[in-house]
């Protein structure tokens, strides 16, 4: 299934000028006044509840996709530091990614890898 929301259409129908002004100030310009942020949260929550009841916001289409390949099964290996079982291909020098301080994270620009004390772009 493919679910699509035309954000331009939704904003015209459900978001008044005040909501868009708050979005600009709180999200785009990152103004962090507590009163402003609380008003933003309240207003956007109200809009969210209205959208849940809207029956014409989402466009749903059935799509054909090729059959997904089955994932290979790898042996589980116990991390030497924390003792958790981890897919063997993820263990390096006896340590799982967490114990090595490596993980993927979702941040503002998307999914990135954290390694060696910094965020790196995914390949």
- Contact (Cβ atoms closer than 8 angstroms) between residue 25 and residue 36: yes
86 vs 89: CA distance, rounded Å: 8
Nearest 5°: CA angle at 15, between 38 and 55? Answer: 115
DSSP 3-state assignment of 20? helix
Of the pLDDT bands very low, low, confident and very high (cuts 50, 70, 90), residue 115 is confident
User: How does residue 50 score in pLDDT terms, banded at 50, 70 and 90?
Assistant: confident
Please indicate whether residue 69 or residue 9 has the higher confidence score (pLDDT): 69
Q: Is the pLDDT of residue 123 over 80?
A: no
Let me know: does 78 contact 66? Beta carbons within 8 Å. Answer: no
How far apart are the C-alpha atoms of 39 and 45, rounded to whole Å?
Answer: 10
- Express each pLDDT in 32-43 by its tens digit: 899 999 999 999
pLDDT in tens, 62-112: 999 999 999 899 999 999 999 999 999 999 999 999 899 888 888 887 888
Show the tokens assigned to 65.
């996709």
Count of other CB atoms within 10 angstroms of residue 91 = 20
């Amino acid at each position: 299934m493919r679910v699509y929301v035309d954000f331009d259409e939704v904003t015209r129908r459900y978001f008044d000028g005040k909501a868009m002004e708050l979005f600009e100030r709180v999200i785009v310009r990152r103004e962090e006044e507590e009163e402003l942020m609380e008003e933003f949260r309240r207003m956007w929550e109200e809009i969210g509840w209205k959208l849940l009841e809207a029956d014409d916001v989402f466009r749903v289409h059935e799509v054909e996709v090729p059959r997904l390949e089955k994932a290979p099964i790898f042996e589980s290996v116990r991390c030497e530091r924390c003792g958790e079982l981890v897919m063997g291909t993820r263990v390096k020098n006896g340590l799982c990614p967490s114990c090595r301080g490596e993980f993927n994270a979702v941040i503002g620009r998307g999914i990135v890898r954290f390694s060696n004390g910094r965020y790196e772009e995914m390949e």
